[in-house]
Amino acid sequence: MTTQVQHYIDGQFIDGNGKQQISVTNPANNQTIAMINAATVQEVETAIASAKSAFNSWKEVPVSERARVMFRYQHLLKEHHDELATILAQETGKTFDDAKGDVWRGIEVAEHACNIASLLMGETVENVARGIDTYSYSQPLGVCAGITPFNFPAMIPLWMFPLSIACGNTFILKPSEQDPMTPQRLVELFEEAGAPKGVLQLVHGDKTAVDVLLNHQDIKAISFVGSVGVAQYIYKTGTDNLKRVQAFAGAKNHCVVMPDANKQQVINNLVGASVGAAGQRCMALSVAIFVGAAKEWIPELKEAIAKVKPGLWDDKEAGYGPLISPAAKARVLSLIAQGKAEGASCLLDGSEFTVPGYESGNWVGPTVFSKVTTEMTIYKEEIFGPVLCCMESDTLEEAIEIVNASPYGNGTSIFTASGAAARKYQHEIEVGQVGINVPIPVPLPFFSFTGWKGSFYGDQHAYGKQAVRFYTETKTITARWFESQISDAEHTAPNMT
């Protein structure tokens, strides 16, 4: 049975009048499970107008009441955790456990938004001049928009709208058209949590809807997560239109394995961090640099990765699911072929893998290359598939040079027993999120998600204090009060410059 995906515009769930139809498929067999009538320009504009009008009253709602909506929301998300994970697993192909993790990482951000009163606290200094005090407030911007990718359809929308709305903004979410049903359920639960009509709007579609958001003068800030080319387009167009933009982009995350590391821990961690979620994570470890004698571990690592069997979302034995689309599969297979053609040694080849009975699905088996060099396409391109590229270096310094020469800077890890090596790595590495004996160092929501270089365009990052700064404007007030009536002559402005 095919479901009709719904927009949520001006407090109503609607099918929409768009003539452009987008099908949502089950990646395990590519059968259509839902249809989207892509939002028309007029529908997106109606959502913006409604969000603008809702802002006038929402920004006046006391902060503790806004926090109470978030408390109810995080409670509902927890209550519906399994249901959300099931929807998510069906449309992404992720295993059920992985889907639960996706939802959970989002719940943690909604939970963080409950703390909004403390997060909004400003600064005060008494007596900046005699009898004069200065203090600051964080005020919301207006209508904000979020454009999200397919690979975390719960976590990434939840990085954005709970904190933005808790700050007093209204918000328009344009999720990935490849898995829109999880975001739709997130929005239904937000309405159930008691958010007033118009505070959150949901529009489905692709570039047409995005371009309306990018060009509309009533959108004050844009949060984007997705691929490099689109992130650059969003950042350039949004800032050209004088909006605040944060754009999280693609990645190529390296780990460095020192010979003094715990071999078993390295192997166990690398298996999940490289091919887990079919490698469709922006923090996946897709390159492993083995320093000195650590290269002897590559065959054992390959054996461990070979044991991972992809499968259906509800197969408890499955290590990961299919890729999101036939196009994604074709891209990964072409990169694997290029790796072989360019001289990398393919130790494990998942190109021919399939799941019996689901041959039409987007399956790619775990794949491991060794002898990869920085000139090869499989090194330079983000593969976004279950493919690990192994490289070798003689020293830690050489490994650091390789990582720092990469145009990306989302995440990296070092595995070592040496505090000195770890300290050197954390200090010298030009990457925004560093793990020390931790494979996927995604910070919890009281920090921020701090990708660098070509993995991020903007200033303030997602969630944590940086998101509150992104979604608010600082107002600084300098005040002087008089104890009694004073003469006009005394009403002179103090010179503080």
Single residue of 148, 184, 416, 448 touching ligand NAD by CB under 6 A: 148
Binding footprint of ligand NAD, residue count (CB under 6 A): 27
- 109 is a site residue for ligand NAD (CB under 6 A): no
Q: Is 282 a catalytic site residue?
A: yes
Place of tokens 């059968």: 31
Question: Please, are residues 150 and 92 in contact by the beta-carbon 8 Å criterion?
Answer: yes
Which of the residues 232 through 261 are near ligand NAD (CB under 6 A)?
Answer: 233, 248-251
Question: What is the distance between the alpha carbons of residues 196 and 198, in angstroms, rounded to a whole number?
Answer: 6
Site string for ligand NAD, 455-484 (x = CB under 6 A): x-----------------------------
Single residue of 171, 235, 320, 384 touching ligand NAD by CB under 6 A: 384
215 φ, ψ (degrees, to nearest 5): -105, -10
Q: Which is nearer to ligand NAD, 149 or 445 (CB)?
A: 149
Question: What is the distance between the alpha carbons of residues 78 and 85, in angstroms, rounded to a whole number?
Answer: 11
Q: How far is the CB of 149 from ligand NAD (least distance, A)?
A: 3
Q: Which is nearer to ligand NAD, 225 or 391 (CB)?
A: 225
- 335 is a site residue for ligand NAD (CB under 6 A): no
Site string for ligand NAD, 18-57 (x = CB under 6 A): ----------------------------------------
Question: Please, are residues 167 and 468 in contact by the beta-carbon 8 Å criterion?
Answer: yes
Q: Measured over all CA atoms, what is the biggest interatomic distance in the chain, rounded to whole angstroms? A: 91
Single residue of 142, 451, 454, 464 touching ligand NAD by CB under 6 A: 451
Site string for ligand NAD, 264-283 (x = CB under 6 A): ------------------x-
Site string for ligand NAD, 214-233 (x = CB under 6 A): -----------xxx--x--x
Question: Please, are residues 255 and 413 in contact by the beta-carbon 8 Å criterion?
Answer: yes
Single residue of 40, 176, 412, 448 touching ligand NAD by CB under 6 A: 176
At residue 42, the 3 state secondary structure works out as helix
Q: How far is CA 221 from the centre of its chain?
A: 16
Question: What is the distance between the alpha carbons of residues 50 and 232, in angstroms, rounded to a whole number?
Answer: 29
Question: What is the distance between the alpha carbons of residues 162 and 110, in angstroms, rounded to a whole number?
Answer: 6
User: Could you tell me how many residues make up the chain?
Assistant: 497
At residue 469, the 3 state secondary structure works out as helix
- 393 is a site residue for ligand NAD (CB under 6 A): no
Provide the token pair at 23.
Answer: 């099908």
- 381 is a site residue for ligand NAD (CB under 6 A): no
Residues with catalytic annotation? 282
